[in-house]
Chain A
Amino acid sequence: MNSPPIPVLSVMKVHDLFEQSVCRYPDNTAVIHLERKISYRDLYFRYAEMADYLKGLDIDEGDRVGLLYENSIEYVYLYFAIYKAGYIVVPVDTSVKPEMINYILRDCDARALIFQSKFRRHLPKIIDDDTGLKYLVTDKNPKLDNIRPEVITFDSIPKISAGTQMDELLSDNAIPDPAQSPHDLAAIYYTSGSTGQPKGVMLSHRNLVSNTLATVEYLKLTEKDSIIVILPFYYIYGNSLLLTHIAVGGCQVVDNRFMYPEVILDTMEKEKVTGFSGVPSNFMILLNKTSFASREFKDLRYFTQAGGAMAPEVVRKLMNAFPQKEIYIMYGQTEAAPRVSYCPPERLNDKIGSIGIPVPGVDIRIMNDDGIEVPDGEPGEITVTGDNVMLGYWNQPEEQSQVLRDGRLFTGDLGRKDEDGYTFVIGRKKEIIKTGGNRVSAKEVEERILENENVSEAAVFGVEDDILGEAVKAVIVLKEGTGLTKKEIRNFCKQKLADHKIPKFIDFMDALPKYQSGKVNKLQLAKM
């Protein structure tokens, strides 16, 4: 087969990771989803059809295209096709309220939305006169009246004629690559911040490709690897699973049924996966509530854990259950594309509680408030430099300037380094609660609760939780003469917040403990 030259890192864009593996491993299975399987070759045809069609839409290179789709074979080729067509991918969290999806589409001024028809019922709230969408691309026609965007269904997209050889499409440059450079914006991932609305993290092709290849390197991934994917692809950690395994010609075994974790364990055994990646709540559920620890998983080589701190006793439980498997405890954030550090499995025992050492190509420094690096052992803010550091926040220059200074990312996490260069997280500068793998802004939840006319004050913070890692707790002071129940508070929150942000625990007090400055003493509240 006449394959095009394999691009090198300096010129690679995200979809090159896919095309490269198509050339090298066309017959490898790329994705398994329940009873469906697809090879790299067949996935390429779907990708090429979609990319070619999307290129012909009346929108410009660099325009934003939303992707509202569950993990599936379709997500994979749609995701890469958007890049190939020259647009900016905006993966959308399928669990957020439609009003939030509307906000995201307006904020990034998306011109098209590719969505799965199962979300059809939310469309009237997603699309309004302020969304600039020109196109809705979907698997089935939603049959809605009076919507402005043109609706395009998958079955109307021209198929590549039977008998077309893959290398005809590749080597003839039948679908020209977009003009963008690797340093240009590739994707926007929306994430919660310390202020009310989510922020669009702008990631370049270089951010994503360099971090993918760095992760492949330390996880020692090859085309023989297959990962069970329970994390959503719209989440940057889930996206990392997608990119790393596509980059090596490996396999994604998609299973969205973690609600029934035994089913996931059966899938892992049936498909002989070599890797499992989860957030703390996944591991806690598996270790405490399933037959996970009693299964052998003969083909499983490694676990990875990120998405928040996992308690050392849970790490030890995992190590004891699977002494022969490699366990990678990792740290990162969306703003770092996402991987910042990992603990080499062979050091986990003596470095437990650490987030490890920087991934290849990344540098970590602990800085004080004056921007000076502190000595080993001293606390400061964890800062990161590398090809993985984001371009910035979409249309939020003030927020951006608080975290990005001279190409250095200030993570908002407090930490210290030991004499071996291993970093330990000791707290958070900003009030972000990481619950069940989700980021929740304490400030955002407080602001929403305070919108209730019966509430005088509200303090929101994270408390330890066996399953979630951290759970959201609200302590509320009501106005005199008023009464609200916990259920009423939750109902109120439900109208304004995604489900995972609704406080799991609620207490009422006559007054909140405060520092002399007047700031609420949340440390004291958390101990009560």
Chain B
Amino acid sequence: MRHIISVLVENKFGVLARVAGLFSGRGYNIDSLCVAPTDDPTVSRMTIVTAGDEKIIEQIEKQLNKLVDTIKVTDLTHTTHVERELLLIKVRHKGKRSEIIEIADIFRAKIIDVAKDCVTLEMTGNEEKLEGLIDLLKSFEIVELIRTGKVAITRAEKT
């Protein structure tokens, strides 16, 4: 099963390598990995999407916790959370530019670059939304596609 694990780590040299090495050394998968500093510049947030059975996920969490530079590990999978991913996609329009612009409008994607035969779109959303856009654009020619991998945050409690 797919899990989305959020890890707070010390923002220090070598920490990313330790986390990545932990996954490769123990044969765990990384579907995507996102890293950047938090509001506290000494702390970084890693969002890791991984897959495995319950036993493997339990080990992943424990092994992450064991790293000296890990501050906190949270498995967001079973919490109420919001997931987002950024997509940049360059499409050859083959004379059908307006069709692409229409699709972009429907998905609330932004056009960030236009050239003679290409349009580049930017979109943020959850996985389904991104996949939906990509699917529709497949009928044109996708020149290049870049995804950032997921970031996620827990929802605040509603009172």
Do A and B interact with each other, yes or no?
no
